A = this chain, B = another copy of it.
Amino acid sequence: MNNQRVGYQGEPGAYSEIAAMRFAENNKPFEDFKHIFQAVVDGSLDYGAIPLENSLGGSIHQNYDYLMEFPVNVIAETYVNIEHCLMGLPGSQLEKATHVLSHPQALMQCKDFLDAHPNLKAEATYDTAGSAKLIAETKSLNQLAIASKRAAELYGLNIIKTDLADADWNITRIVCIAKKDVAIHPSVKSSERKTSLVFLMPNEQGSLFTALATMALRKIDLTKIESRPSRKKAFEYLFYVDIIGSPTERNVKNALAHLEEISPMVKVLGCYGKIE
């Protein structure tokens, strides 16, 4: 670890901050993703922690758009377990509280718990950690928050209940972005490399099959594929593909050259490794 500066979206205690802390020591909250990309490009940040997909919510297309728009590289990835906890000020009690505050998505993910506790009125807030912060500020014993364990620690709240969510499989994949001239994050230990690409294909008979043949015929493993209708032109599709390997390997290099023969646009978002 070093003294690099990393930006994440949300208040301190946000799930993205957990990823940011793995990327650098010096982390800074941002209100939105676009400003993180801008800060990385203008050099006021070294890194950005950008969520790309969640096991319940799916891929975050808007962040893929920013990866296409800004001159940045993906230099690492990490996985954060979203473990919602119920918390309140010391002295607060589940039975006596009247309100529970959190981001609407977190509230919806804890619907079974809320249904079983009709004494608690759900109240939406801008983010999970912000709810914990709000309770610490208002000093209200009637209000509880749904947020991360770290948010409870940061704002001096007691954890009343862990494992609050209905689904037990809520994981967010967060990548580290840096300027184009940074190739890989120094904390990546493993030599296994993943390469993320975006390419465009016209919606012609079998065009995706042909595109995937460039990889399959060279025995390259895919770990993700996703189509997205292009916003620029009807009947064109963007494909997001992650493969095991690096463009420095001959088969990957040849597959990418082959893909460029048949696709009007191929962009490598980065070649990176995992940070635990």
Contacts and interface: CB of A to CB of B under 8 A. Distances in A.
Interface of A: 31-32, 34, 53-62, 65, 103-104, 107-108, 111, 122-127, 167, 169, 203, 205-206, 208-209, 212-213, 215-216, 219, 221-229, 231
B208 A225 contact: yes
Contact of A226 (B122, B219, B227): B227
A61 B103 CA distance: 19
Contact of A34 (B62, B111, B122): B111
A209 B205 contact: no
> In terms of DSSP, what is the predominant structure of the interface of chain A?
mixed
29 contacts: A32-B108, A32-B111, A34-B111, A53-B58, A54-B61, A55-B61, A55-B228, A55-B229, A56-B62, A58-B59, A59-B59, A59-B226, A65-B167, A103-B104, A107-B126, A122-B126, A124-B124, A124-B125, A169-B231, A203-B221, A203-B223, A206-B216, A206-B219, A208-B212, A208-B222, A209-B212, A209-B213, A223-B227, A226-B226
A164 to B, nearest CB: 15
The 9 A-B pairs of least Cβ separation, nearest first, read: A209-B216, A58-B59, A58-B58, A124-B126, A169-B231, A226-B226, A56-B62, A206-B216, A124-B124
Which of A215, A222, A223 is the most central at the interface, judged by chain B CB atoms within 10 Å of its CB?
Answer: A222
Contact of A58 (B61, B108, B127, B216): B61
Chain copies in the assembled complex? 2
A55 B237 CA distance: 12
Contacts of A122: 126
A202 to B, nearest CB: 12
Contacts of A224: 227
A125 B212 CA distance: 43
Contact of A225 (B53, B103, B225): B225
